[in-house]
Structure 1
Amino acid sequence: MRTRFAIKLHAVLEKHFPERRVFLKSDSDTRFIRLRPATQLAAYAGAFLLVAWAIVATAIVLMDSIGAGNFREQARRDQRMYEQRLNQLSAERDARAEEALAAQARFNSALAQISVMQSELLSSETRRSELETGVEVIQTTLRQTMRDREAARKSLAALKDSGATTPATEAAAPAQMAFMTAALSEAAKERDQVRADAQSALDERDALETEIKLMRERNDQIFRQLEEAMEVSVEPLNKMFRQAGMAPDRILEQVRRGYQGQGGPLTPITFSTRGEQPDPDELRANKILGQMDQLNLYRLAAQKAPFAKPVHASVRFSSPFGYRRDPKTGGRRMHNGSDFAGPYGTKIFATADGVVTYAGWMSGFGRLVKIRHAFGIETYYAHTSRLHVKVGQRVSRGDHIADMGNSGRSTGTHLHYEVRVNGRPVNPMTYIKAARNVF
């Protein structure tokens, strides 16, 4: 039995949606389908919902397409800015390196000039000492001669006063006096010459001291430039390793132990075998050489760690490291790498020096390249279309190792790039972002 509300509702529906019949006629029979008001209302509501859903879905698709286009354009702009910044930093790094080399050449030239000047100064000091000794000898001889002359004069006067002089003695006295006068004049000339030579040696010494002072000031300026260049060059590398989670001291020690070719630790300038303390210039020079050695070790370590992008062309960063919605099943799964989407056949490059440990097909990864690097690091390059390396091959950073493709468990052309440290996956962008202000 229907209620009053149901009756009223039916009356309202009957007013707007009167009952209709659809007749179906055949040769021998006629049938009809009754369309009640509630059935018509449900049909109209379903049609309205279908149209509304189509409008909303179309709007969402259009907005997503517009947003994806803006994102790609923004990604291209970021890529261009990144490449410009990378080129600027590379130019600055090269300029700093050239300045360091030029400063080192000037420093070596200055050290050679200082050595020559020190030898000349020592020779001048020795000559001055000899001249002073000669002056003292001549002065002593001159004083002794003057005393002898005075004694001779006194003796001659005493002989004259006593009347004991003879004609021969009186005749010989002027000759003796003339001889003594000539000897005194010669001694005085030699004394004046020695004094002049001594003064000339002192003037030369003062000039050498002034030149050495200027040379030391130039050396100090060169030292400051070298120290600033070393600080500017070493600090970004140190920061890069720290941001990548790699302890710089431990990394440098590993490189120092394993590096056996050219470019190892530099030899200090001088060593003292007499127990003397090195002067400040030697200490500063040895400190700079130590920093140059550290910079060289940083360069070697940076080549062995994946501080580079695996793709140099313009690509889209399509999926980050971490948990995400699986593109195949729709479930939530861990994504152990970063995805870079680009055109089919885009070149893929090694991100660090290492040895190829796998090059072939692997389930899920498709065509895969695995490279073992130093410090327990390993990189994966998956879903490639073509491989350009083989197992056991040694590669360097920037070597062309594969082409981008769509092999294996993939929804489109892209590169799946992984970095593993001691077998544990880590975020590859940690290394790429850490090197943005260096390479």
Structure 2
Amino acid sequence: MRTRLAIKLHSLLERHFPERRVFLKSDNDTRFIRLSSETQIVAALGVSIMVGWTAVATAILLMDSIGSGNFREQAKRDQATYQERLNILSQERDARAQEALAAHARFNSALQQISAMQSELLESENRRRELETGIEVIQTTLRSTMKQREEARAQLAELQEKSDGASVAMFASAAPAQIEFMADALTRTAQQRDQIATDAQAALDQRDELELEILLMQERNDEIFRQLEEAMVISVEPLDKMFREAGMPTDRMLDEVRRGYSGMGGPLTPISFSTRGEELSADEVRANQLLQQMDQLNLYRIAAEKAPFATPVKSAFRFTSGYGYRRDPKTGGRRMHKGTDFAAPTGTDIFATADGVVAHAGWQSGYGRLVKIKHAFGVETLYAHNSKIRVKVGQRVSRGDHIADMGNSGRSTGTHLHYEVRVNGKPVNPMDFIKAANNVF
């Protein structure tokens, strides 16, 4: 059976690939190479495979070339979009800064208005007390005068009852001076009574005017308080959100700032309008709450200067690698990238992102020329692969100071800045700080 199948297969091959011989002739001898059907089939398959592989490889190279061109165009478009986004963020930051300045100006104006209103309130209170004292004196005098008038009337009635008309006439003729004195006294008493009634009514009218003035002043005071409270909410909430988005504990951070600035920037003294130990009024409570919010806003601003809420590169750049696991550019393996890479031309200025003290300024394995700055709240920032260092160890720097020039030193494949942020020695994503600051400033 196998023999028949083999014979049929061989005859089929012979029909399409007949046996061939290649003769090799020399001067003395003639030789030939026998090419069987099987050999021809193997050769044809090999050539077909080679041609197919060449076509596939060529197609792959062409597709890769076309794809690379598309990627470059896409990268250019992404870079243009990113630059546009940066410009928009910069404009928004400037707008927020202008709003903050305007809010601060409104706040100062409101404080001046509060001070003026407090002075007016104290003057109104003094006038009210003086009027109350004057009214009490007038009422006392009126009561005394009315009492004297009633006594005089009683004496006159008693005299009229005890004596008839002749006796009165005799008394009048005998004592005209006394009768005239009593008539004059009664006239003066009536005039004093009318004057006291007029003064009392004027005092009541003035009291009503003062009450209306105090009511209007309280309404203006409430409006100013509402404006100040809204300004404090607008100013404090974005700063609190910025620190929380960066993962920083705001309570511990503010306590640390308060301890460090207790001598020159600590809490404001609460307002108190009474020296007799009385309970605070509603306005005093609101004023003290505003002072506490002002103190908190001041502490937030101090803390924001000490935390790295800024970008280390201000000129044109592009992000080449972010925080997290990535393919290592040297070995190709998967490794943790503890910072963010900013690519720009060699010599690009690098700036400190917060106030602090330089802890390291020199060569470090892997990082090349490295600048390390210690900030408040246990935060450190690292600036690696520099071409030149412009600060020294122990030097105190402020946000925006020029500390180094961008380079390609250390374990690096090209010119860029490797920027790290560490909190209590643990690396965190620098973009959390940068994005949080972009949403506020």
Q: TM-score, normalised by structure 2?
A: 0.88
Alignment deviations for residues 85-137 of structure 1 (CA, whole Å, 9 cap, x no partner): 21121122222222122112211211111111111111111111111111111
| Aligned position for 2:311 | 309
Q: Deviation of residue 175 (structure 1)?
A: 4.1
2:157 to 147, 150, 155: 150
1:146 and 1:184 in contact (8 A); partners too? no
Superposition pairs of residues 341-380 of structure 1, within 5 angstroms: 341-380=343-382
CA contact under 8 A between 1:418 and 1:425: conserved in structure 2? Answer: yes
TM-score by length of structure 1 reads 0.89
User: What's 1:407 paired with?
Assistant: 409
Give ranges in structure 1 of 5+ residues lacking alignment: 26-30
Q: CA deviation at 1:154?
A: 3.7
Which position in structure 1 is the counterpart of 2:148? 141
Work out the CA distance in 1 between the residues paired with 2:226 and 2:303. Answer: 27
Task: Give the secondary structure class of the aligned counterpart of 1:375.
Answer: helix
Alignment partner of 2:183 out of 171, 181, 184: 181
Return the offset for 1:157: 2.1
In 1, Cα distance between the equivalents of 2:426 and 2:288? Answer: 41
Taking structure 1 as reference, are residues 187 and 377 closer, same or farther at Cα in structure 2, changes over 3 Å only?
Answer: same
The aligned residue for residue 127 of structure 1 is 134
SS in structure 2 at match of 1:345: coil
Task: Show the counterpart of 2:280.
Answer: 278
Query: C-alpha separation between the residues in 2 aligned to 1:226 and 1:358?
Result: 45
Instruction: Indicate whether 1:86 and 2:101 are aligned.
Output: no
- Counterpart of 1:397 (choices 389, 394, 399) is 399
Aligned residue pairs total: 429
Q: Which amino acid aligns with 1:182?
A: D
Matched residue SS, 2:383:
strand
Q: Give the corresponding residue for 1:225.
A: 227
Query: What is the match of residue 192 of structure 2?
Result: 190
Matched residue of 2:221: which SS?
Answer: helix
Q: How does 1:59-78 map onto structure 2 within 5 Å?
A: 59-78=66-85
What secondary structure does 1:141 align onto? helix
Cα RMSD (Å): 3.1
Q: Residue type of the partner of 1:244?
A: A
Residue-by-residue CA offset, 1:389-418 (whole Å, 9 max, x unaligned): 211111122222222222221112211100
Amino acid at match of 1:348: I
Q: 1:349 to 1:142 in 2, by over 3 A?
A: same
2:300 alignment partner, one of 298, 301, 310:
298
Deviation, 1:199, is 1.8
Could you tell me whether the CA contact under 8 Å between 1:347 and 1:402 is conserved in 2? yes
Equivalent residues of 1:79, 1:314 under 8 A apart: no
What secondary structure, in the 3-state scheme, does the structure 2 residue paired with 1:334 have?
Answer: strand
Report deviation, 1:172. 2.5
Quick one: which amino acid aligns to residue 150 of structure 2? R
What residue in structure 1 maps to residue 255 of structure 2?
253
Aligned partner of 1:52 in structure 2 is: 59
Q: Which amino acid aligns with 1:44?
A: V
Give the whole-Å Cα distance in 1 for the aligned partners of 2:435 and 2:21: 71
Confirm or deny that 1:421 pairs with 2:428.
no
Give SS of 2:438's match.
coil
Q: Distance in 1 between matches of 2:70 and 2:173?
A: 138
Deviation at 1:174, TM superposition (A): 4.3
- CA distance in structure 1 between the partners assigned to 2:343 and 2:21 by the alignment: 58
Deviation at 1:40, TM superposition (A): 3.7
Decide which moves more: 297-306 or 47-56: 47-56
Equivalent runs, 1:196-215 vs 2, <5 Å: 196-215=198-217
Distance in 1, Cα, partners of 2:72 & 2:175: 131
Which residue number in structure 2 is paired with residue 320 of structure 1? 322
SS in 2 for 1:49: helix
Instruction: Answer yes or no: is the 8 Å Cα contact 2:381–2:420 preserved in 1.
Output: yes
**Equivalent-residue separation in structure 1 for 2:295 and 2:141 (angstroms):** 53
Amino acid at match of 2:115: N
Please give the alpha-carbon distance, in whole angstroms, between the structure 2 residues aligned to 1:317 and 1:84.
20
Distance 2:415 2:395 in 1: 26
CA contact under 8 A between 1:149 and 1:180: conserved in structure 2?
A: no
Cα shift at 1:345: 2.2
Which residue matches 1:333? 335
What's the CA shift for 1:346? Answer: 2.1
Tell me the alpha carbon deviations over residues 188-225 of structure 1, each in whole angstroms, 9 at most, x when there is no partner: 11221222222222222211111111111100111111
For residue 160 of structure 1, report the CA deviation from its aligned partner: 3.2
Farther off after superposition, 374-383 or 234-243: 234-243
1:269, CA displacement in angstroms?
0.9
> Compared with structure 1, are the counterparts of its residues 385 and 10 closer, same or farther at alpha carbon in structure 2 (3 Å cutoff)?
farther
- The amino acid of 2:113's aligned partner reads R
Looking at structure 2, the residues matched to 260 and 160 of structure 1 have their Cα atoms a distance apart, in angstroms, of 93
8 Å contact 2:307–2:379 — kept in the other structure? yes
Assess if the C-alpha contact under 8 Å between 2:21 and 2:32 holds in 1. Answer: no
Q: Which amino acid aligns with 1:258?
A: G
- Residue ranges of structure 2 left out of the alignment (5+ in a row): none
Aligned residue number for residue 389 of structure 2: 387
